[in-house]
Structure 1
Amino acid sequence: MSPTVTPPSPTPERADTSPNLATEASDLRMATFRLARRLRSQRSVDSMSDGQFAVLAALSVHGPHTLGELADRERVSAPSMNRTVNCLEEGGYLSRTPDEDDRRKVNIALTDAGRTVVDETVRRRDEWLEASLAALTPAQRETLHDAAAIMREVAAR
């Protein structure tokens, strides 16, 4: 009877510190930046800045905010957010209304025109990305599907 051999226990995975990791990180950063830039270019209002659209999108997803809440969410100063909100209000994309419980507060919300901008921009971006994905092979699309999950994991760290 032969002796029982116990397989070695798996070694815990360690972070890769190879010189190629820096190159891989740079390549991923640049590819992500280029894709984001292409997606941002698909907008329904060409004159609207990315920051202005981000405010509309935040209001669309999270509902009405005060000026301070919007500034915190977008990580900008209150005076900077006030300029952005003023511009969007002048364009008819959002409205300000006094808070019913605290008259010192003003709630900022999307108007129908603002919601249309968000919806149309999202539609254009999805349409562009879908057309781009359609030009890829099924294997490439599967790779991107897997990469999207990994990118969400990295972004959550």
Structure 2
Amino acid sequence: MDREGSHGHPRWDAMAAREPSGWPVGRLLSAASRRVERDWNAHLASWDLNHASQPVLVILLGGPRTQAELAARCEVTEQTMSRVIARLERSGYVERTAHATDRRKQQISVTDAGRAAVLAASDPEAAEAMVTEGLTPAQVDQLRELLLIVARR
């Protein structure tokens, strides 16, 4: 950012700074992402879940995993995963048991309550509706194509 403004513009007028139509694409994408995350977290809160804990339960539907395996699958540190697992454990959604072959490790498993919560909370139609509300089917297809391009870069 230069001293006069952003992206080489002499300066942003007050309206452009407030009005999304004047924002750079990166800022729009970031703002849209935060809105979707807030809406999704509000939806998941009904089950005491959030955007970090829900994918862990989805993974655990496939069988027990270690904390390290969960962290790798979710692309977070083991320290971050430890906090997510602790929250899920307090909610009664996961349990820790001794690893079958390595006594230094613990297996994390989904409980019946966790399975019921994640299946109820993870309705793909509800998630899609949250993101695409107000868009036509053609706009949804276009948005998907553009986001795939950006995500695969």
Offset at residue 131 of structure 1 (A): 7.7
Query: Higher mean Cα deviation, 110-119 or 24-33?
Result: 24-33
SS at match of 1:103: coil
Match of 2:32 in 1: 31
TM-score, reference length from structure 1: 0.64
**Unmatched 5+ residue regions in structure 2?**
1-6, 10-20
For the 8 Å contact 2:47–2:121, the answer to whether it is kept is: no
Runs of 4+ in 1 over 4 A off after TM superposition: 17-20, 131-136
Q: Which has the larger radius of gyration?
A: 1
Aligned match of 1:45: 46
Q: Is the 8 A contact 1:44 1:121 kept in 2?
A: no
Report the alpha carbon displacement of residue 129 of structure 1 after superposing the two structures with TM: 4.0
The separation in 2 between residues aligned to 1:132 and 1:86, in whole angstroms, is 29
Highest RCO, 1 vs 2 (Cα 8 Å, sep ≥ 6): 1
Q: Could you say what secondary structure the match of 1:42 adopts?
A: helix
> What is the aligned residue count?
134
Write out aligned runs for 1:5-154 (5 A): 23-43=24-44, 45=46, 47-60=48-61, 63-72=63-72, 73-78=74-79, 80-123=80-123, 126-127=125-126, 129-130=128-129, 136=135, 140-154=136-150
Structure-2 change in CA distance of 1:108 and 1:23 (3 Å):
same
**Identity over aligned residues, as a percent?**
28
Flag the 1:112–1:153 CA change in 2: closer, same or farther, 3 A. farther
Partners of 1:32 and 1:82 lie apart in 2 by: 25
Q: TM-score, normalised by structure 2?
A: 0.66
Q: Structure 1: give runs of 5+ residues left out of the alignment.
A: 1-16
Structure 1 residues 90 and 156: CA distance shift in structure 2, 3 A: same
CA drift of 1:35 comes to 2.4
